[in-house]
Chains A and B, each alone.
Chain A
Amino acid sequence: MDIYLLEAIINGILLGGVLALLALGLNLIFGVIDVVWIAYADIVMCGMYVIYFLYAQYGVPLPLACLIAIVAMAAFGVLVHLLIIAPVLNSPPINQLLATGGLLFFLQSFATLLFGTDFRNIGVRLPILEIATLYISFSRLIAFVVGLVGAIALYLFLKRTYIGTAIRAIAQDREIVGLMGVDQRRIYLVTSAIGGALAGLAACLLALQYDVHPFIGNTFGPVIFMICVLGGLGNMIGGFIASFIISQIIAIGGYYSNIELSYVLAFTFFIVLMFFRPRGIFAR
Chain B
Amino acid sequence: MLSLAAVSAGYGSFQALFGVSLEVPQGEAVGVIGPNGAGKSTLMRVISGLLPMRDGSMILDGRSVSGLPAHRMVEQGIAHVPENRRLFPRLSVEDNLRIGAFIPQARQRFAEQLDRVYNLFPRLKDRRDQLAGTLSGGEQQMCAIGRALMSRPKLLLLDEPSAGLAPLVVAQVFELVRRIRAEGLTVLIVEQNVQQVLEVVDRAYLLEVGAIKLAGTAAELKDNSFIRKSYMGL
Q: What residues of chain B lie closer than 8 Å to A183, measured between beta carbons?
A: 69, 71
Of the candidate stretches A84-92, A160-168, A244-252, A262-270, the one touching chain B is: A160-168
Q: What residues of chain A lie closer than 8 Å to B50, measured between beta carbons?
A: 175, 178-179
Cα distance A22–B89 in the bound complex, in angstroms = 27
Name the interface residues of B94-141: CB closer than 8 Å to any CB of A.
Answer: 95, 98-103, 106-107
How far is the CB of A220 from the nearest CB of chain B, in Å?
29
Q: What residues of chain B lie closer than 8 Å to A166, measured between beta carbons?
A: 99, 102
Cα distance A132–B90 in the bound complex, in angstroms = 45
**Contacts known (A172-B90, A176-B82); A165 close to B99, Cβ less than 8 A:** yes
Q: How would you classify the secondary structure of chain A's contact residues: helix, strand, loop or mixed?
A: helix
Q: What residues of chain A lie closer than 8 Å to B95, measured between beta carbons?
A: 165, 168-169
Q: What residues of chain B lie closer than 8 Å to A184, measured between beta carbons?
A: 71
- Apart from A172-B91, A173-B88, A176-B88, list 6 A-B contacts with CB within 8 A: A162-B107, A168-B91, A179-B79, A179-B148, A181-B102, A184-B71
A-B residue pairs, 8 tightest by C-beta: A178-B70, A181-B74, A181-B103, A176-B86, A172-B88, A169-B88, A183-B71, A181-B102
Please determine whether A172 and B89 come into contact, CB atoms closer than 8 angstroms.
yes
- A180 is an interface residue with CB less than 8 A from chain B: yes
How far is the CB of A177 from the nearest CB of chain B, in Å?
7
Q: Interface of B with A (CB < 8 Å)?
A: 48-50, 69-71, 74-75, 79-80, 82, 86, 88-91, 95, 98-103, 106-107, 147-148, 151
Cα distance A165–B95 in the bound complex, in angstroms = 7
Cα distance A181–B103 in the bound complex, in angstroms = 6
Please determine whether A178 and B69 come into contact, CB atoms closer than 8 angstroms.
yes
Cα distance A183–B69 in the bound complex, in angstroms = 9
Q: Which of B69, B89, B90, B151 contacts A180 (CB 8 A)?
A: B151
24 A–B contacts from the bound complex (CB under 8 Å): A162-B98, A162-B101, A162-B107, A165-B98, A165-B102, A168-B91, A169-B88, A169-B99, A172-B88, A172-B90, A172-B91, A173-B88, A175-B50, A176-B82, A176-B88, A177-B99, A179-B48, A179-B148, A180-B74, A180-B99, A180-B100, A180-B102, A181-B103, A184-B71
Cα distance A172–B90 in the bound complex, in angstroms = 7
Please determine whether A182 and B88 come into contact, CB atoms closer than 8 angstroms.
no
Q: Interface of A with B (CB < 8 Å)?
A: 162, 165-166, 168-169, 172-173, 175-184
How far is the CB of A207 from the nearest CB of chain B, in Å?
36
Q: What residues of chain B lie closer than 8 Å to A176, measured between beta carbons?
A: 82, 86, 88
Q: What residues of chain A lie closer than 8 Å to B99, measured between beta carbons?
A: 162, 165-166, 169, 177, 180, 182
How far is the CB of B65 from the nearest CB of chain A, in Å?
14
Please determine whether A178 and B71 come into contact, CB atoms closer than 8 angstroms.
yes
Q: What residues of chain B lie closer than 8 Å to A179, measured between beta carbons?
A: 48, 50, 70, 74, 79-80, 82, 148
Residue among B69, B70, B103, B107 facing the most chain A CB atoms (10 A cut-off): B70
How far is the CB of B14 from the nearest CB of chain A, in Å?
18
Q: What residues of chain B lie closer than 8 Å to A165, measured between beta carbons?
A: 91, 95, 98-99, 102
Q: Which of B71, B88, B101, B106 contacts A168 (CB 8 A)?
A: B88
How far is the CB of B177 from the nearest CB of chain A, in Å?
19
Please determine whether A162 and B89 come into contact, CB atoms closer than 8 angstroms.
no
Q: What residues of chain B lie closer than 8 Å to A172, measured between beta carbons?
A: 88-91
**Contacts known (A165-B95, A181-B103); A173 close to B86, Cβ less than 8 A:** yes
